[in-house]
Amino acid sequence: MAATMSNVEEIRTRVILGEYDIKNVHTSDYPGNYPGYDDTWDMRKFQKNFRVDLVHLNESSMEFDMVGIDAAIANAFRRILLAEVPTMAIEKVFIYNNTSIVQDEVLAQRLGLVPIKADPRLFEYRSPGDESAEEEGSEIDTIQLQLKIKCSRNPRASKDSADPRELYLNHMVYSSDIKWVPIGNQADVFADSVIGPVHDDILIAQLRPGHELDIVMHCVKGLGQDHAKFSPVATASYRLLPEITLLEPVEGEMAERLKRCFSRGVIDIQDVDGRKVAKVVNSRLDTCSREFLRHDDLKNVVKLGRLRDHFIFTVESTGILPPDVLVTEAIKVLMVKCQRFLSELDSPELE
């Protein structure tokens, strides 16, 4: 009976990676699925088991653990981060002069994908209107940028030089050449903010003497589900926490081979009474490559699994907003969705 209960507990809490298959991948924690287990939703139980552990945070990336939730909720956070946290991006490109070799539509596409450093929470969505209203915009829903540059020969260049960096002036157009043109009272409202491209070294075009760009751009608030340029993250992903179990002691040369089968830092060799014994040090670093299954004498001494409710999240921001702010905004979006769903349930139309 104990063995049976242990097997059930493993199915409920672990995903097992076998040699030819992956077991226990389905969700099974719903009421009545397992005799003897009460899987009825309990808020107090959820609050007790749920936790978020911050592992790493800097201005561009973040790693944290979310423990005690179902895969559906974890995936909801991932999808919201990718597609439903708003940002500001270039939507309208007005090209007054372009004598470079880059076609207008290609140049507009390149400009649209340049991430813009501006807090979207301080702006409103553009309301649909006539064409003239869309072109003008206003200080509450539009950021205006300008790119005006002309390439010329460098009069101080050496006659024998063949280096374009020495021969020409302004021949490389970077995102740093894009300048913010305040609309209305934006200069006062955003006096403490630096609005413009997140990175100054994004190459936009290459010019030669006589080539000129004169462009005005309008940035608006949008969502990644409408266009990828509005997505605030370079990547947002999660994985289950690996669990590596040694079913029997692994010693000597086998221990050395086992260590090489895993990522660096996962397995360590310890000296126990003069014997070299393998020990699992940090299973979190494992990539679940299952390399040990290539060795006949190792495949039956290692059990590789993943904790079903322990998600390791990685969020890499494009630089528009810090990653911790993005996660907070994603949680707010999910809360609004839940509230809207509850309101629909209470709607008289459903009664």
Average pLDDT over every residue of 289-297: 91
Residue range(s) defining the domain that contains residue 50: 2-83+236-247+301-312
Which of 20-29, 42-51, 204-213 shows the highest mean pLDDT? 204-213
Indicate the pLDDT class of residue 4, thresholds 50, 70 and 90. Answer: very low
- Residue 209 located in a structural domain: yes
Give the pLDDT band (50/70/90) at residue 314. Answer: very high
Do the domain assignments include residue 94? yes
Mean pLDDT of 210-235: 95
In a domain, 7, yes or no: yes
120: domain CATH number? 2.170.120.12
Residue 225 and residue 101 share a domain: yes
Decide if 257 is inside a domain: no
Q: How many separate domains does the chain show?
A: 2
Residue 27: CATH number of its domain: 3.30.1360.10
**49 assigned to some structural domain:** yes
pLDDT of residue 135: 59
Task: Tell whether 44 is covered by a domain.
Answer: yes
- Examine the domain organization and report whether 109 and 11 are in the same domain: no
pLDDT value at position 129?
59
Q: Residue 3 pLDDT > 50, yes or no?
A: no
- Of 25-29, 109-113, 124-128, 335-339, the range with the lowest mean pLDDT is 25-29
Q: Which domain-ending residue is among 203, 230, 257?
A: 230
* Banded pLDDT at 351 (limits 50, 70, 90): low
pLDDT digits (tens, 9 = 90+) for 105-135: 999 999 999 999 999 999 999 877 544 545 5
Between 231 and 159, the higher pLDDT residue: 231
Q: Is the pLDDT of residue 2 over 50?
A: no
pLDDT at 1 over 50: no
Query: Do residues 71 and 190 share a domain?
Result: no
**Which pLDDT score, from 0 to 100, does residue 80 have?**
96
Mapped to the 3 state alphabet, what secondary structure does the chain carry?
Answer: CHHHHHHHHHHHHEEEECCCCEECCCCCCCCCCCCCCCCCCCHHHHHHHCEEEEEEECCCEEEEEEECCCHHHHHHHHHHHHHCCCEEEEEEEEEEEECCCCCHHHHHHHHHCCCEECCHHHCCCCCCCCHHHHHHCCCCCCEEEEEEEECEECCCCCCCCCCHHHHEECCEEEHHHCEEECCCCHHHHCCCCCCEECCCCCEEEECCCCCEEEEEEEEEEECCCCCHHHCCEEEEEEEEEEEEEECCCCEHHHHHHHHHHCCCCCEEEEEECCEEEEEECCHHHCCCCCHHHHCCCCCCCEEEEEEEEEEEEEEEECCCCCHHHHHHHHHHHHHHHHHHHHHHHCCHHHC
Residues 77 and 97 placed together within one structural domain of the fold: no
What is the pLDDT confidence band of residue 5, given thresholds at 50, 70 and 90? very low
Q: What is residue 164's predicted lDDT score, i.e. its pLDDT?
A: 87
Q: Has residue 350 been placed in a domain?
A: no
Q: Is residue 319 part of a domain?
A: no
Instruction: Please give the model's pTM, rounded to 2 decimal places.
Output: 0.85
Please determine, for residue 61, whether its predicted confidence score (pLDDT) is greater than 50: yes
**pLDDT at position 274:** 86
Instruction: Out of 130-144, 180-194, 246-260, pick the least confident.
Output: 130-144
Same domain, 106 and 38: no
Question: What is the predicted pLDDT for the residue at 114?
Answer: 96
Instruction: Express as a percent the part of the chain with pLDDT over 70.
Output: 95
